[in-house]
């Protein structure tokens, strides 16, 4: 955890971020921490009820608790409706993102036709092609490549070695982590006389505002129309988004998930790590998909969906899983037994 030297009183924090302060308002904190590892200069948090027990043993100087935790500790505390969200906000306040020095690094290559907004920065060895537009205060990391006509909105940050292919659009306040690739060709091929023909991918990727995209995540450009990532979408690392996918606003997807071409994901969905969503299907708003789940057809109703095979000790798995290939046989045997039983019942009555 980074060591901070600037401190704030609880009074200053509550004045800025709200919440009810209980205990000494002059207590000073410099950083957030977990209950377990906190020291006296830290503000810790008990996000859920089950953490309230840990309050007795924490060395934190102060804590954030929910309404139910108001009387659970004698420590100076900030009482609020949603301790985890409060923690997120106080952490953002205590840990502002470091800003790159504005300006174009002398070792970057920026096309003469590109426009660089005020306060924007371009790192060493970045390449900015013709007609790129960089909004004010956006930050392009070292070694990034932005193809012709790309546009990046105000305040967006690209970490090093991000590649954005030509014509793609990135909104405001986006964060793209290192190694992300936006706008590579979708996987469009057609078999013709024993060879694959490539189908030119002439759509773009259009990314809304307040989107975060994880390290080494890939979002393919559309085949004909665009691939669209709406406002507020959060993608973790190593996710693959196929061509012509649309991901609805404020949907969050965990690492290693794969979304096949032309899938339409709703708003406020949450998709677990390693999930695979097949192509050309539609998922409603507010759908949760469990980790490692395969979605093979459209989902019209909110709720949680799962397809995981439960793990077990390998020797037991061997015994159990072998029957899966004979499940139909088993079902037939049970049906036959059922018919026999019903016949006997019929005879008796």
Judged by CB under 8 A, how many residues of this single chain contact a copy of itself?
130
Q: Is 349 helix (H, G, I), strand (E, B) or coil?
A: coil
* CB of 103 vs a copy of itself, minimal distance in Å: 15
Residues ≥6 apart with Cβ < 8 Å to 158? 138, 139, 140, 141, 144, 152, 164, 176
Q: Looking at residue 299, what DSSP letter applies?
A: B
Q: Which is nearer to a copy of itself, 71 or 340 (CB)?
A: 340
Which residue of 206, 226, 230, 245 would you call a contact of a copy of itself, by CB under 8 A?
A: 226
* CB of 17 vs a copy of itself, minimal distance in Å: 12
- Candidates 5-13, 59-67, 69-77, 300-308; binding stretch for a copy of itself (CB under 8 A): 300-308
Q: Which is nearer to a copy of itself, 73 or 218 (CB)?
A: 218
Q: Concatenate the DSSP letters of all residues of 119-177 into one string.
A: T-EE-TT-EE-TT-EE-TT-EE-TT-EE-TT-EE-TT-EE-TT-EE-TT-EE-TT-EE-
Which residue of 69, 135, 179, 208 would you call a contact of a copy of itself, by CB under 8 A?
A: 179
Kindly state whether residue 286 participates in binding a copy of itself, applying the rule CB under 8 A.
Answer: no
* CB of 91 vs a copy of itself, minimal distance in Å: 5
Pairing of strands 133-134, 151-152: parallel
CB contact at 8 A, 286 and 304: no
Kindly state whether residue 56 participates in binding a copy of itself, applying the rule CB under 8 A.
Answer: no
* H or E stretch at 253: strand 252-253
Q: Where are the beta strands (DSSP E) in 25-72?
A: 28-29, 31-33, 42-45, 62-66
Please give the residues from 99 up to 128 whose contact with a copy of itself meets the rule CB under 8 A: 107, 109, 123-125, 127
243 assigned to active site? yes
Which residue of 102, 184, 281, 282 would you call a contact of a copy of itself, by CB under 8 A?
A: 184
Beta bridge mates, 295: 277
- Candidates 15-23, 66-74, 112-120, 199-207; binding stretch for a copy of itself (CB under 8 A): 199-207
- Candidates 6-14, 22-30, 61-69, 316-324; binding stretch for a copy of itself (CB under 8 A): 316-324
Which residue of 50, 118, 195, 346 would you call a contact of a copy of itself, by CB under 8 A?
A: 195
Record the tokens describing residue 325, joined without a space.
């290939």
Which residue of 202, 281, 285, 286 would you call a contact of a copy of itself, by CB under 8 A?
A: 202
Which residue of 101, 112, 328, 346 would you call a contact of a copy of itself, by CB under 8 A?
A: 328
- Candidates 21-29, 50-58, 64-72, 294-302; binding stretch for a copy of itself (CB under 8 A): 294-302
CB contact at 8 A, 16 and 80: no
Residue 328: how many CB atoms within 10 A of its CB? 9
Task: Mark residues 1-30: x for contact with a copy of itself by CB under 8 A, - for none.
Answer: xx----------------------------
Question: What is the Cα–Cα distance from 293 to 55, expressed in whole angstroms?
Answer: 37
Residues ≥6 apart with Cβ < 8 Å to 52? 46, 65, 68, 69, 72, 73
CA gyration radius for the chain?
27
* CB of 68 vs a copy of itself, minimal distance in Å: 18
Catalytic residue among 48, 192, 243, 286: 243
Catalytic residues, by residue number, are 243
């Amino acid at each position: 955890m980074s060591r901070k030297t600037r401190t704030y009183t609880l009074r200053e924090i509550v004045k800025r971020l709200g919440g009810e302060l209980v205990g000494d308002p002059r207590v000073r904190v410099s950083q957030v921490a977990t209950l377990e590892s906190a020291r006296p200069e830290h503000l810790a948090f008990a996000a859920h009820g089950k953490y309230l027990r840990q309050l007795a043993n924490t060395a934190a100087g102060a804590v954030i608790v929910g309404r139910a935790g108001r009387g659970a500790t004698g420590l100076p505390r900030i009482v609020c409706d949603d301790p985890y969200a409060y923690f997120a906000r106080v952490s953002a306040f205590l840990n502002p993102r470091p800003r790159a020095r504005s300006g174009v690094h002398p070792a970057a290559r920026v096309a003469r036709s590109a426009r660089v907004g005020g306060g924007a920065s371009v790192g060493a060895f970045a390449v900015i092609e013709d007609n790129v537009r960089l909004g004010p205060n956006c930050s392009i990391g070292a070694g990034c490549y932005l193809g012709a006509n790309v546009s990046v909105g105000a305040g967006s940050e690209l970490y090093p070695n991000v590649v954005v292919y030509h014509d793609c659009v990135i909104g405001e306040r986006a964060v793209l982590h290192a190694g992300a690739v936006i706008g590579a060709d979708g996987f469009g091929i057609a078999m013709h006389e024993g060879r694959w023909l490539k189908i030119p991918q002439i759509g773009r990727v259009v990314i809304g505002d307040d989107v975060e995209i994880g390290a080494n995540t890939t979002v393919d450009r559309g085949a004909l129309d665009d691939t669209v990532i709406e406002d507020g979408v959060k993608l973790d690392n190593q996710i693959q988004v196929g061509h012509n996918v649309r991901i609805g606003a404020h949907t969050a997807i965990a690492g290693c998930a794969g979304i096949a071409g032309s899938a339409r994901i709703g708003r406020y969905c949450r998709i677990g790590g390693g999930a695979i969503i097949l192509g050309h299907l539609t998922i409603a708003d507010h759908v949760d998909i469990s980790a490692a789940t395969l979605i093979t057809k459209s989902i019209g109703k909110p709720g949680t969906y799962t397809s995981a095979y439960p793990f077990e000790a390998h020797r037991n798995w061997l015994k159990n899983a072998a029957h899966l290939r004979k499940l139909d046989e088993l079902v037939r045997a049970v049906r036959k037994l059922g018919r026999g039983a019903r016949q006997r019942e019929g005879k008796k009555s």
